[in-house]
Structure 1
Amino acid sequence: MSNNRVPTILIVDDIPANLLLLTQLLDGQSYDVRPVTQGAMALAAARAIRPDLILLDIRMPDKDGYTVCRELKADPETSSIPIIFVSALDDIDGKVRAFECGGVDYVTKPFQPAEVLARVRTHLALAQARTALEMANRELQRALAREAELARIDWLTGVYNRSHFYELATHEFAIATRYDQALAICMFDVDHFKQVNDRYGHLIGDQVLRAVAQTAARQIRAADCIGRFGGEEFILLLPNTDTLAGLMLAERLRAAIADLRVSTEQGEVAVTISAGVAGRQPADTVIERLIDRADQALYAAKRQGRNCVVGV
C-alpha cells in the first residue's frame, strides 16, 4: 500500500443497517469503502479490487465468514489481505475459529466506533509495514544476487574471473569424466600485448582487452563459458566438444579477432591472438591437467609465429 494512496476497505455484511453504519464510519475517515452483502460477492470483489483490509461478518446466507476467509487465504492473490471479523457471536469458540481460519482480529457487535477505527488503523499500518518489509527483502535479495554475480566477474573485461571459471570447469570436468563425454579447453592470449600498452598506454590496452573478451564471448555457444586467466590470457570451457571441434571454434575466434578494429581516442587498434586447444583424454584425471595441456598448446602456437591455433 503506497503512502500516497487512499486505503481500500471491503466490508462484508448481509444486514443493510450494519453495512450502512460501517460504511459511513469509514467514509468519514476518507477510506475507499466497498460494501457487499454476500460471501460470494466478497470473494469476487477481493480478487477484483485487492483491498487493503476486509471487515467480514460471520453469519451470511450463502457462505459464512469462516468459509470466505479460508477461501481468501487459500488464494495466493488474496492470501495476504488482513481480515477483521465483525460479528454478533461473542463465544470463545467462534473467536478461536475466526483466528484459526486466518483472521487477524475480532470485533464484537454492537461495536464501538472508536474501537473499530483504532483496529482498522492498526491493521492497515501493520499491512503497510509488512509490504514495506517484503519490498526491502526483495531489494536485498536482488542486491545480494548482484553482489554474488559481481564476485564471479572479472571487473575489467566482464567475463568470468579465474576463480569462478575454475569452479565451473571442475564441475564440467567431473560430469564429462563420469559419463565419458567430450570436453575441450581453449587458451588464448593477445599477441605482443606489451607493445600495445607501451605504444598506446594502459587505458587503451584495457579497452583492447575488453573488446577481445567480448568478441570471444560472442563466438561461443550458450553452454560454453569464457574466463580471464590472467593479464592478456583468456580461457574457454567447451562442454561436449572434442579436440577437432575445439580447433574449429578457436580458428573462427582467431579470425574474428584478426578482423577486429578497436576504435580508441588514438585511432583504430588491431591485434591478433594465439590459441591452444586440448580435448579431454583418459589420462586427464583432474581439470588442471587438461588446462595445462591447453596451455602447452598455446605456447606451441607462439613458437610457430603467433596468430595461429595449435591442438593437442
Structure 2
Amino acid sequence: MSNQVALCKGDLLIIDDLAENLRLLSEILKIAGYKVRCAVDGQTGLMAAKTSPPDLILLDVKMEEIDGYEVCKQLKSDRLTADIPIMFISAYGSIQEKIKAFGVGGVDFITKPFQAAEVIVRINNQLTLRRLQQQLIEKNQQLEQEISDRQRAEFELKQAYSALEKLAYLDGLTRVANRMYLDKFLHHEWNRAKREQESLALILCDIDYFKNYNDTYGHLVGDRCLRQIAHALSKVVQRSTDLVARYGGEEFCLVLSNTNLSGAMNIATAIQDRVQKLHICHEKSPISNYITLSLGLAAYIPSQKTSIKHLLHMADKALYQAKAAGKNQFIVAGEQVCSISHKLEVRSKI
C-alpha cells in the first residue's frame, strides 16, 4: 500500500477562501504524502498555478471576487496551465453545479463535507490518469521523432546514393557523363524513340589536332581544354532529355532525343559557334590559330531493321569523313556539309 501511495504522490494546489477548509484539507493531503500549497482566493491561486504549475488543483466553487468557475476558465485558456487536472470542491452538489463544473474543464467534483479516504482515492486516480496521459504524449513524441529521424536518414541515404550514382556516371575530368552512362542513356532513348516513333539524333565530336595541342602546351593545359569544350557543349545542349558525354580521349558524344537531321545540324552549328568564341589558342593547328572541332551527325527513327550500333556507326563514319575532308566542319550521315562559314554546302554522299 505504501508503494502505491508513493507512486501517486504529487504537487497539489488548494484554492479556497475559507481558512478552515484549507487547513483541514492540507493536513489530510500532507499526511498522505503530498506536497501541498494553499491559495486564499482565486487571484492568488491563478498566480501560484502560473508561477509553478502543480500536478493537480483542488478548487472551491464559491469564492468572493473570482469564483471557481472563472478561475478554471482562465487556467484552461492559458497554455501553461491548460493541462492541469482541476477537481472542484463545493458544499453544494446540485446537478447544475456539477454540469457547469465539468463544462468549464473540471475533471471531478467533491461535495463537502468530504471523507479523507475518498478524496485521496480520487486524487490518486486523477494523478495516475495524468501521468499515463503524459507518458502517452511522451511516447507519441518519441515515435514522431523516431519517424522523423528515420525519414531524414532515408532522405540522406537517398541523397548519398544519388550522389554516388551521379559520381559513378560522371567523367572525372570533364564532369559530363561518362561512357558507361552514355551506353545506358542511349539504350533508354533508343527504346523510347522506337516505341513513340520519334527521330533520335547522335553527334560525335572530335577536337582537331589535339595530340599536337598536348605536345605543345602539356597535358595539364590539355585537360583544361577538354573541360572548356565539355562546358561549351553543355551550354548548347540544355534539354533534360538530351545528353553530353565524353566518348573517349578528345571525343564527345551528344544524344538528342526527338531531333531530326535538321535539328541536329542547328545544334552542330551552335557548337562550332560556341567553340570558336572560346578562342583557345592552338599554334600547331594547320587549319586555324584556335581549337576547332570536327563533327559527325546521324539521325533517324529507330525500327526493327536498325540498331544503336548502326546509329553509332553512321555518326562515326560521318565524323571520319569530316576529318578526312579537312576537319573544322560537320558531316551529316548521307551528305557532306561545310560549316566553317556557317553556310550549308552539299559536297558528296557518304
If the TM-score is normalised by the length of the shorter chain, which range does it land in? 0.5 to 0.7
2:266 is aligned with 1:248: yes
Deviation at residue 209 of structure 1 after TM alignment? 0.5
* Matched residue, 2:306: 285
Conserved 8 A contact 2:296-2:322: yes
Deviation of 1:259 after TM superposition, in Å, equals 2.3
Structure 1 residue aligned with 2:164, among 147, 150, 156? 147
After superposition, the C-alpha distances for 1:184-221 in whole angstroms (9 at most, x for unaligned) are 11101111111121112211111111110110111124
What is the 5 A alignment of 1:93-108?
Answer: none
Cα offsets for 1:147-202 (capped at 9, x unmatched): 12222211211111111122221121112222321111110111111112111221
Quote the offset at 1:231 in angstroms. Answer: 1.0
Instruction: Give the Cα separation in 2 of the matches to 1:284 and 1:246.
Output: 22
The residue matched to 1:148 in structure 2 has which SS?
A: helix
Which stretch shifts more, 109-118 or 201-210?
Answer: 109-118
Q: Which residue of 2 is the match for residue 299 of structure 1?
A: 320
Whether the 8 Å contact between 1:25 and 1:113 is mirrored in structure 2 is no
Q: Does 1:165 align with 2:185?
A: no
Could you say if the C-alpha distance between residues 248 and 119 of structure 1 is closer, same or farther in structure 2, counting changes exceeding 3 Å? closer
**Pairs aligned (count):** 230
2: CA distance, partners of 1:168 / 1:225: 8
Output aligned runs, 1:1-312, within 5 Å.
Answer: 20=49, 24-25=53-54, 37=76, 109-111=126-128, 128=145, 130-222=147-239, 223-262=241-280, 270-280=290-300, 282=303, 285-312=306-333
What SS does the corresponding residue of 1:226 show, helix, strand or coil? strand
Cα distance in structure 2, aligned partners of 1:294 and 1:146: 32
Q: Distance in 2 between matches of 1:182 and 1:260?
A: 31
Unaligned runs of 5+ in 2: 1-41, 56-73, 86-101, 109-123, 282-288, 334-350
Query: How big is each residue's C-alpha offset from its partner over 1:212-251, in whole Å with a ceiling of 9 and x where there is no partner?
Result: 0110111124132111111111111111211122122112
- TM-score between both structures, scaled by the size of structure 2: 0.55
Q: Tell me the distance in 1 between the aligned counterparts of 2:84 and 2:54.
A: 15
* CA spacing shift, 1:36–1:229, aligned 2, 3 Å: farther
Q: In 1, are the aligned partners of 2:54 and 2:84 still within 8 Å (CA)?
A: no
Q: Identity over the aligned pairs, expressed in percent?
A: 28
With over 3 angstroms needed to count, the CA separation of the structure-2 counterparts of 1:242 and 1:197, relative to structure 1, is: same
Q: Does structure 1 retain, via aligned residues, the 8 Å contact 2:171–2:178?
A: yes
Q: Is the 8 A contact 2:76 2:83 kept in 1?
A: no
1:292 to partner: Cα distance: 1.2
Preserved CA contact (<8 Å) 1:160 1:227: yes
Q: TM-score, normalised by structure 1?
A: 0.61
Q: 1:304 & 1:283 partners in 2: Cα distance? A: 33
Q: CA deviation at 1:134?
A: 3.7
Query: Matched residues in 1 for 2:234 and 2:152: separation?
Result: 35
Change (3 A) 1:109 1:230: same
Structure 1 letter corresponding to 2:160: A
Asked whether the equivalents of residues 275 and 291 of structure 2 are also in contact (C-alpha less than 8 Å), the reply is yes
Deviates more, 1:279-288 or 1:171-180: 279-288
Take 1:235 and 1:36, find their aligned partners in 2: how far apart are those partners?
73
Structure 1 Cα separation of the partners of residues 258 and 143 of structure 2? 54
Are the structure 2 counterparts of residues 176 and 131 from structure 1 closer, same or farther at C-alpha, using a change threshold of 3 Å?
closer
Matched-pair contact (CA < 8 Å) for 1:284–1:290: no
Q: Secondary structure at the residue paired with 1:111?
A: helix
Query: Cα 1:210–1:37, aligned 2, differ >3 Å: closer, same or farther?
Result: same
Deviations 1:83-113 (A, max 9, x none): xxxx88xxxxxxxxxxxxxxxxxx9623398
User: In 2, are the aligned partners of 1:258 and 1:273 still within 8 Å (CA)?
Assistant: no
How many Å apart are 1:298 and its aligned residue? 0.4
Computing the radius of gyration from Cα coordinates, the structure with the larger value is 2
